[in-house]
Amino acid sequence: MSDDEFRPKRRRVRSPSPPKPDDDDDDSYVPYVPVAQRREEKFAKLQSWGVRSGRERPKKPQDDAEEKEQELKEEELRREKARRERTLLLEAQEVHKKKAAEDAKKTVEEKAEEADAEILEAIKSRRKLASDMELAKGIKYTESLETSWRPPRFIRERTEEQHRKLRDKYHIIVEGDDIPPPIESFRDMKVPQPILDYLKSKKITSPTPIQLQGIPAAFSGRDIIGIAFTGSGKTLAFCLPLIMTALEEEAKLPFVQGEGPVGIILCPSRELANQTYENMVIWCSELAKSGKYPQLNCLLCIGGISMSEQGHALNKGLHIVVATPGRLIDMLEKKRFTFNNCKYLCMDEADRMIDLGFEDDVRNIMSFFKRQRQTLLFSATMPRKIQDFARESLIKPVLVNVGRAGAANLDVLQVVEYVKQEAKMVYLLECLQKTPPPVIIFSENKNEVDDIQEYLLLKGVEAVAIHGSKTQEERQYAIKAFKSGAKDVMVASGVASKGLDFNEIQHVIIFSMPKEIEDYVHQIGRTGRSGKTGIATTFVNMNTPEQTLLDLKYLLMEAGQK
């Protein structure tokens, strides 16, 4: 008998099956098995015969079935995990191999340079606006998204010099490569007729400077950083391109339930989201009413409203979502809809979205995108560091700047008054006499907002209040009452009212000066909208920080104010 034939018999000794009686002398060989192991084997054997330790309850057959099922499930999970790990490993190996092949071709200097760039890139990418997936896979898009839109021939035939002259005429500053031409009429931009008719009915007949350059750039599929003073019509500039994209996608293949959205507009506050959503709904219904365009479905995705109210929008193909970050993430995580077909992302008040607290949320939202998107960042103010950062995160962006970023609207007369802290309330009443209503009063502090409202109500002034701690209903009621003219004065905290478009505000009173000058610009921007003039009165005193006063001084000088 050879050695090979001999060994398996030896191993059999350890097997739980009893030795065969006719086994010959091979069986007399019993290798040493440590006590602990023997004990374990004995225990296992007893268990397989159904004997259990006293502490364990006797098992019922259904327990066994459950246990088996559990085991199967665990096994399946283990296998799934192993499969995933193997795929990741293979991918990593593939990337590594490719990189090694590329590296072999490079000189030492090139490699050193690349290493430096990588370190810099790693630092920057911590704050990049790209999705984690893109960052992880090193995906870098270099070309803007293609759209079917082209400017009319007569505009395409104009020279660069003619475009420049037109931009100068409207004080539009642009930066970027191959900038699409400015277009002076909505019709020449090929805006659908039903929307043209609707805009005309609202006395919106020719585009504002930000629209004139921003819309052609956005229609061309370009990423945009759009900066234009408050009340200059930015909303239309970023909503119309999304409508056009949605129409184009719907024409290719109509959306059915579970598909969409095509694009998303992110806003920093519920009120702003609500306002933009309402505009979107009107424009889309004008299109559908005409019978020449399909119905585009919009969803408002903000905290404080129940999703069942919005259920109807999810029962059909979804085209447009207007959202605040928190609720949007919630909906995406719950898979109420996906970004599989989403190719348009616009952030309103983008500087605030990136700078203040929302950054992680924004990055989280980015991680849901599965394909290249067109990204648009709009705001009245855009600090340089955010501009630079945004520029790096976008693809071949076009920067459109109407008036210096952060500059105040020149249609607002800015008055700054020294008012002692304890005299503010009383002076406020006097100040309200400067103009007829409607008037907005801003304070940075929620309690102060409540105190001012209470004081005004006591003095017989019809005032409503809005700040972050009010419920959604209270906030909506206040906005509605003020917009409709039922209330003369709105007292508001800066954050809650940013970007809101109220009709013909005569006077903005800044009861307590915000620390950031950008917030001041947004607040005074509630008046002097769409070409009308307004007054802003700001109270300052010993409590106002010196830096804030200096910023204010430069802003006033720049705006040519006293």
Ligand X SMILES: Nc1ncnc2c1ncn2[C@@H]1O[C@H](COP(=O)(O)OP(=O)(O)OP(=O)(O)O)[C@@H](O)[C@H]1O
Q: What is the binding site for ligand X (CB under 6 A)?
A: 204, 207-208, 211, 228, 230-236, 380, 499, 501, 525, 529-530
The smaller minimum CB distance to ligand X, of residues 242 and 380, is found at: 380
How near is the Cβ of 226 to ligand X at its closest, in Å?
9
Supply angle C-alpha 395, 398, 401, rounded to 5: 145
The smaller minimum CB distance to ligand X, of residues 208 and 493, is found at: 208
* Greatest pairwise CA separation for the chain in angstroms: 117
Number of residues that make up the chain: 562
How near is the Cβ of 526 to ligand X at its closest, in Å?
7
Closest residue by beta carbon to ligand X: 233
The smaller minimum CB distance to ligand X, of residues 163 and 234, is found at: 234
How near is the Cβ of 183 to ligand X at its closest, in Å?
13
The smaller minimum CB distance to ligand X, of residues 336 and 532, is found at: 532
Q: By the 8 A CB rule, do 266 and 344 touch?
A: no
How near is the Cβ of 204 to ligand X at its closest, in Å?
4
Distance CA 226, CA 223 (A): 10
How near is the Cβ of 243 to ligand X at its closest, in Å?
15
How near is the Cβ of 73 to ligand X at its closest, in Å?
53
Distance of CA 528 to the CA centre of its chain: 28
Supply angle C-alpha 457, 458, 460, rounded to 5: 65
The smaller minimum CB distance to ligand X, of residues 231 and 403, is found at: 231
How near is the Cβ of 206 to ligand X at its closest, in Å?
6
Residues 6+ apart with CB under 8 A from 348: 234, 235, 238, 265, 266, 267, 268, 272, 276, 378, 379, 499
Residue among 375, 253, 223 at smallest CA distance from 319: 253
Residues 6+ apart with CB under 8 A from 493: 442, 443, 444, 445, 446, 449, 466, 467, 468
DSSP assignments along 247-313, one per residue: HHHHHHS---TT---SEEEE-SSHHHHHHHHHHHHHHHHHHHHTTSSPPPPEEEE-TTS-TTTTHHH
The smaller minimum CB distance to ligand X, of residues 135 and 508, is found at: 508
